[in-house]
Amino acid sequence: MPTDFHHDIPKDAKIYIAGHSGLAGSAIWRAFEAEGYRNLVGRRSAELDLMDRAATYDFLSQERPDYLIAAAAKVGGIYGNAAANADFLSDNLRIQLNLLDGAREFGVTRAVFLGSSCIYPKFAPQPIREDSLMTGPLEPSNFGYAIAKIAGVYHVQALREQYGCSFVSAMPTNLYGPGDNFALPGAHAFPMLLRRLHDAKVAGDEEFVVYGTGTTMREFLHADDLGRAVLTLLRRYDGPEPVNVGFGEDIVINDLVALMAKVVGYEGRIGHDLSKIDGTPRKLMDSGRIRSLGWEPRIGLAEGVTSTYEWFLANQETFRR
């Protein structure tokens, strides 16, 4: 892959981060601020409905951002996705169609579309390379979200081919960190486990029940590492292929639970509810493409679990439930 592309982002550039209040978007916002960018634009969903094409176009025509980060999405955990695949497909398609078409219509210089590791086949060879896309069947429990994100990847490629747009796609692995959604039910695996372990400790439960066998393996990346990755892609990458953004190591869910229990201080026994689905057996991504551009993760999992739990404790009155 060519690595000689270089693009300087002017410090006064107007940068619109769609989904800026979410886990990924807030981390991207922090990454830009840390590097001295102050002309950042964001709107909460109550202020701007990105599923409304006219409203999205009105906003973009007024703001005229130079850069756009498409981090807005309808997201949920395995059980939320499985129960509402139609909603996850429809809502995400509308959000990304409006953002990407609008970015082209109103002259955005560069854009980054955020997808997900779930775009890859359920049984893709590990670690998963970008060229595994569309080579096998998806995990059935979240096919709606996955298909929407796959469509986004091809939308970016089509806009590049037809209109010459300098847009790229990033596929982050499972994210965690400050600003995550700890709502029960419906949260992703990481915040759900952390929240449930905390609740079990507070309640004095003698047993904590893991949903499924706990033998699946997952890769987790701190959201702040993703924030830096987005900056790297804007500066160093301009190609049609999606770019994986992962930590480079995965962990068995049972081992993650043990790590979290130690951080939380839960000392009860660990059980399993085998009636619950496990999902994809393993999902470790090959992130060699972005590492070749000079990026690498900085926040280890033990450090990340500790800091995320500290954020959870400090924000229990305000975090999304």
pLDDT digits (tens, 9 = 90+) for 247-258: 999 999 999 999
Mean pLDDT of the chain: 94
Each residue's pLDDT tens digit, 284-317: 999 999 999 999 999 999 999 999 999 999 998 7
Cβ-based neighbours of 224, under 8 Å, separated by 6 or more: 27, 30, 31, 177, 298, 299
Percent of the chain with pLDDT over 70: 95
Give the mean model confidence (pLDDT) for residues 227-235: 98
Is 114 known to sit in a ligand binding site? Answer: yes
Which residue of the set 145, 237, 266, 309 is catalytic? 145
pLDDT tops 70 at residue 1: no
Each residue's pLDDT tens digit, 31-61: 999 999 999 999 999 999 999 999 999 999 9
* pLDDT tier, 3 (very low <50, low <70, confident <90, very high otherwise): low
Is 142 known to sit in a ligand binding site? Answer: no
Nearest to 80 by CA among 188, 211, 196, 186: 186
Each residue's pLDDT tens digit, 131-157: 999 999 999 888 999 999 999 999 999
pLDDT tops 60 at residue 320: no
Annotated active-site residue 145? The verdict is yes
Quick one: pLDDT at residue 243?
98
Angle (CA) 4-168-27 rounded to 5° is 100
Is 188 known to sit in a ligand binding site? Answer: yes
CB 130 within 8 A of CB 171: yes
Residue 171 bridge partners (DSSP): 244
Quick one: pLDDT at residue 280?
79
Integer Cα distance of 55 and 321 in angstroms: 28
* pLDDT tier, 20 (very low <50, low <70, confident <90, very high otherwise): very high
CB 301 within 8 A of CB 246: no
Each residue's pLDDT tens digit, 86-122: 999 999 999 999 999 999 999 999 999 999 999 999 9
DSSP 8-state code for residue 117? G
Quick one: pLDDT at residue 82?
61
Set out the domains of the chain in order of their start, with CATH numbers: 15-314 (3.40.50.720)
